Chain A
Amino acid sequence: QVQLQESGPGLVKPSETLSLTCTVSGYAISSGYYWGWIRQPPGKGLEWIGSIYHSGSTYYKPSLKSRVTISVDTSKNQFSLRLTSVTAADTAVYYCARQSCSGDFCYSSAAFDIWGQGTMVTVSS
């Protein structure tokens, strides 16, 4: 079955860059779908950060766009998140997820159907 697993540092200093990787097993990223990053600050709701289409097209939350980069490495079947200039407000559980839908560029109907277990990232000096 399809599984996603986040990995990366659990502690990042303020003003530095947060980098996380999502390793996908059971499905080739290059075959299709969108692949997204979502975060959840402690005690708060879900916030979509950004997504990448299997072809490489990227989509970012407007308020985070200047700090976010999502990339894909099909040879490793991984996609990654970089968030620059982090502050305490970026402290959260970060999830990666598959967004499945039918047809090409089906973004309007894409739902987050498979999620990773999440990884806690704390921004602190």
Chain B
Amino acid sequence: SYELTQPPSVSVSPGQAASITCSGDKLGDKYASWYQQKPGQSPVLVIYQDTKRPSGIPERFSGSNSGNTATLTISGTQAMDEADYYCQAWDSSTNWVFGGGTKLTVL
């Protein structure tokens, strides 16, 4: 079965760039999406098809995907960006799959 691996936690100082990685076999050959989830709320799509931002998502959110790793980058991180982030992809063996999630802390 296909698995996506994320670091459990990432810390960043306000105003700095935060990078969250998502690893999977030949993930660069698939489309990666990213979701933000704040406590007690439903997930929100922040990046789809590797690099695209849905309407209403700030420009400081960007994505890339190559080789075995997809990366979500938040430039100029703000306190409001503190949340859990999940990557997601599709594979023929498992259909849709989510990574385990990364807790982003803005110190």
* Chain A residues within an 8 Å CB radius of B49: 109, 111
A11 at interface (Cβ–Cβ under 8 A)?
no
Nearest Cβ in chain A — how far from B83, in angstroms? 13
Q: How far is the CA of A36 from the CA of B93 in the complex (A)?
A: 17
Q: Which of B45, B84, B99, B101 contacts A111 (CB 8 A)?
A: B45
Query: Contact string, B50-65, partner A, CB cutoff 8 A, digits 1/0?
Result: 0000100000000000
Nearest Cβ in chain A — how far from B31, in angstroms? 5
B48 nearest in chain A by CB position:
A111
State whether A95 touches B90 (Cβ < 8 A). no
Q: Which of B44, B48, B84, B97 contacts A48 (CB 8 A)?
A: B97
State whether B90 touches A115 (Cβ < 8 A). no
B44 nearest in chain A by CB position:
A115
Q: How far is the CA of A111 from the CA of B57 in the complex (A)?
A: 15
* Chain A residues within an 8 Å CB radius of B44: 115
* Chain A residues within an 8 Å CB radius of B24: none
State whether B95 touches A46 (Cβ < 8 A). no
Query: Contact string, B64-107, partner A, CB cutoff 8 A, digits 1/0?
Result: 00000000000000000000101010100111111111000000
State whether A48 touches B54 (Cβ < 8 A). no
The B-contacting residues of A in range 63-116, CB under 8 angstroms, are: 63, 95, 99, 107-113, 115-116
Stretch at the interface among A13-21, A23-31, A54-62: A54-62
* Chain B residues within an 8 Å CB radius of A122: none
Query: Contact string, B15-56, partner A, CB cutoff 8 A, digits 1/0?
Result: 000000000000000110101010000111100110000100
Nearest Cβ in chain A — how far from B65, in angstroms? 12
State whether B43 touches A108 (Cβ < 8 A). no
State whether A62 touches B1 (Cβ < 8 A). yes
* Chain B residues within an 8 Å CB radius of A47: 98
Q: Which of A36, A61, A111 contacts B33 (CB 8 A)?
A: A111
Most chain A Cβ neighbours within 10 Å, of B37, B43, B95, B98: B95
Which 8 pairs across A and B sit closest by C-beta, in order of nearness? A111-B48, A111-B33, A115-B42, A45-B101, A46-B98, A48-B96, A109-B31, A59-B95
B interface residues (Cβ-Cβ under 8 A, vs A): 1, 30-31, 33, 35, 37, 42-45, 48-49, 54, 84, 86, 88, 90, 93-101
